[in-house]
Each structure stands twice: as structure tokens, then as C-alpha cells.
């Protein structure tokens, strides 16, 4: 199935920012020793909390992957925004929060079943990068302390693709649509469990334009971004409140051995 490439997709914001950012503290008064000490202390607290939080998330996700998906008991108690469509005539659903793009970048991930069991989560990976920057900058802000507990972590949406077909450019005018079929799991760091889940089926938008920038997989950036975005849109719509039963001790112990390697596995960068 081919689809027209007629709309300019998302700009490579991350690439532009990475190339145009000044070094931490550039052109600003340097922080004093007390500020740097405060940042280092908070960074330590965030990392300590993060290791435990990520271990809990990975254990819960691994257990959910081994179990049948429960029937939803009602609507998902956490409102996950449906990202705006990359289709020129599409849009978000409902009132999107101002920071929905940050939520998509920092709290949503599309992975294979193997990555879901072994790779560091998006929230943990993003916060580790942020902490490194804060320590380089050396300036303390009170809001940093939110990330030493669940308040700043909130939730993480993991879309596990049991089947994934990458979109492929056929010509300058057409591309072959991509497909994602799988399951979505919403982990709440405050509740320390998966609170919502749902089936996912998504395919590429109708109208797009290739960017000319290739991902490591060889897929065009715009086409890859759009398919990932559509998977998140489908996931956000399908989530329902669920409760997974506790696993037998043997299965939980086996999963714990994998989760103890938090930080050692590379996180997928979408």
C-alpha cells in the first residue's frame, strides 16, 4: 500500500537544538560552591530513587508481558494525551496540555518485546541525561527536588510492538505504509504498578513527505516518526484500567534478576 508524500513532516528539533545549544552556564554568572553542592545532593537523590523506580517499572512490565491482558474495569484513571497527528488535516483529541510534546518525548516509547524486558525506560534515560546537564550547569532550582520522588516521574507509556513493519519510500511521490500491532502498558510511578493497558494497531498517516534524513535502521526520519506517533495515538485511545495478579515467587525471582541490571542496558532512542 502506498501513500502520498505531500506534507512536510516534523522538523528535527532535537538535532537543531543539539547543534545550537550553548554550553552550560555560557555567558552567565558562575554558580557558587553552595549551589553546586545542592545540585550534587539532589542529583544523588534522583539517581537513588531512579534505580528503584526503574527496577519496579521493568519488573511490572516483564510480568505483564507474560500474562494475558486483563479485561479493563473502566476508563484509565490517568489522562494520557492523544498526540496531534502528523497528517496535515489531523490534530490532537480533546484539550492537549501545553507540554504534550514533552510527554511524548520523555514518557512514551515504542519497543520490541525483548527491549521491553531488558532496556532502560524512557523516563529513567531522559532524567539521567537531565541530571548530567544540571550538574554541569551547577545552578540549583527547587523544582529539581520533584524528580527525587514520583511527583516528577508521573507515568510512562510503553508500546510493545509484537509486529512491526517499517514504512519505506517507494518514490518521490509515494511510500509504503508502516504498521505496528502490539500492546500498550501505562506504568504509574506513584502506584508502583501498571494501572492501564490496551491493544494497539496503528499504521502510517495518509499524507507525508520524506525528510531525506535516514535513521540507523535506514528508515526515513519523517516516516519513522509518523508511525511511532500513530502508535502512541492508538495506545492513548485504547487504554483501560487494569489490575494484574501477583506472579508466583519463582517467576518474580527470575524477572528480578533481569531488572537488577538497571542502567546496564542501552535504552532505545526513537
Whether the predicted pLDDT of 36 surpasses 60: yes
Provide the Cα torsion 104, 107, 110, 116; round to 10°. Answer: 180
Average predicted confidence (pLDDT) for the chain:
81
Per residue in 156-199, pLDDT tens? 999 999 999 998 887 766 788 899 999 999 999 999 999 999 99
Is the whole-model pTM more than 0.75? Answer: yes
Distance between CA atoms of residues 224 and 77, nearest Å = 30
Q: Which of 264, 258, 261 is nearest to 63 (CA)?
A: 258
DSSP letter string, 61-96: HHHHHHSPPPPP-EE-SS----PPPSSTT---SS--
| Residue position matching grid coordinates 541530571 | 131
How many other C-beta atoms are found inside a 10 Å radius of the C-beta of residue 39?
A: 21
| Residue position matching grid coordinates 508502583 | 192
250 or 237, which is more confident? 237
The β-bridge partners of 156 are 187
Share of the chain above pLDDT 70, in %: 72
- pLDDT-derived band at 88, boundaries 50, 70, 90: low
Q: Give per-residue burial for 103-134: e unless 16+ CB within 10 Å, then b.
A: bbebbbbbbeeebbbbbbbbbbbbbbebbeeb
Provide the Cα torsion 193, 198, 201, 205; round to 10°. Answer: -80
First to last CA, the chain: 24
Q: Which of 159, 153, 80, 156 is nearest to 116 (CA)?
A: 159
Whether the predicted pLDDT of 23 surpasses 90: no
The pLDDT, as a whole number, for residue 257 is: 52
The pLDDT, as a whole number, for residue 243 is: 96
The pLDDT, as a whole number, for residue 266 is: 47
Backbone angles phi, psi at 197, to 5 degrees: -155, 165
Amino acid at each position: 500500500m502506498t501513500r502520498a508524500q505531500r506534507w512536510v513532516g516534523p522538523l528535527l528539533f532535537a538535532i537543531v537544538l543539539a547543534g545550537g545549544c550553548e554550553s552550560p552556564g555560557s555567558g552567565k554568572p558562575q554558580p557558587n560552591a553552595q549551589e553546586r553542592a545542592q545540585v550534587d545532593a539532589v542529583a544523588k537523590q534522583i539517581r537513588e530513587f531512579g534505580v528503584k523506580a526503574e527496577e519496579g517499572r521493568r519488573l511490572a512490565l516483564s510480568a505483564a508481558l507474560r500474562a494475558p491482558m486483563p479485561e479493563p474495569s473502566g476508563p484509565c484513571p490517568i489522562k494520557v494525551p492523544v498526540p496531534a497527528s502528523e497528517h496535515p488535516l489531523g490534530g490532537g483529541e480533546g484539550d492537549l496540555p501545553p507540554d504534550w510534546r514533552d510527554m511524548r518525548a520523555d514518557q512514551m516509547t515504542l519497543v520490541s518485546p525483548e527491549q521491553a524486558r531488558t532496556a532502560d525506560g524512557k523516563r529513567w534515560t531522559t532524567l539521567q541525561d537531565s541530571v548530567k546537564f544540571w550538574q554541569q550547569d551547577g545552578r540549583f532550582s527547587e523544582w529539581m527536588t520533584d524528580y527525587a520522588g514520583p511527583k516528577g516521574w508521573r507515568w510512562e507509556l510503553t508500546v510493545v510492538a509484537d509486529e512491526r513493519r517499517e514504512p519505506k519510500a517507494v518514490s518521490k511521490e509515494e511510500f509504503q505504509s508502516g504498521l505496528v500491532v502490539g500492546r500498550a502498558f501505562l506504568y504509574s510511578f506513584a502506584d508502583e504498578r501498571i494501572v492501564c493497558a490496551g491493544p494497539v494497531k496503528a499504521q502510517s498517516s495518509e499524507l507525508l513527505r520524506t525528510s531525506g534524513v535516514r535513521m540507523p535502521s535506514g528508515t526515513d526520519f519523517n516516516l519513522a516518526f509518523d508511525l511511532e506517533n500513530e502508535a502512541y495515538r492508538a495506545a492513548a485511545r485504547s487504554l483501560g484500567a487494569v489490575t494484574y495478579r501477583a506472579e508466583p515467587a519463582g517467576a518474580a525471582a527470575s524477572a528480578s534478576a533481569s531488572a537488577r541490571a538497571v542502567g546496564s542496558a542501552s535504552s532505545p532512542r526513537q
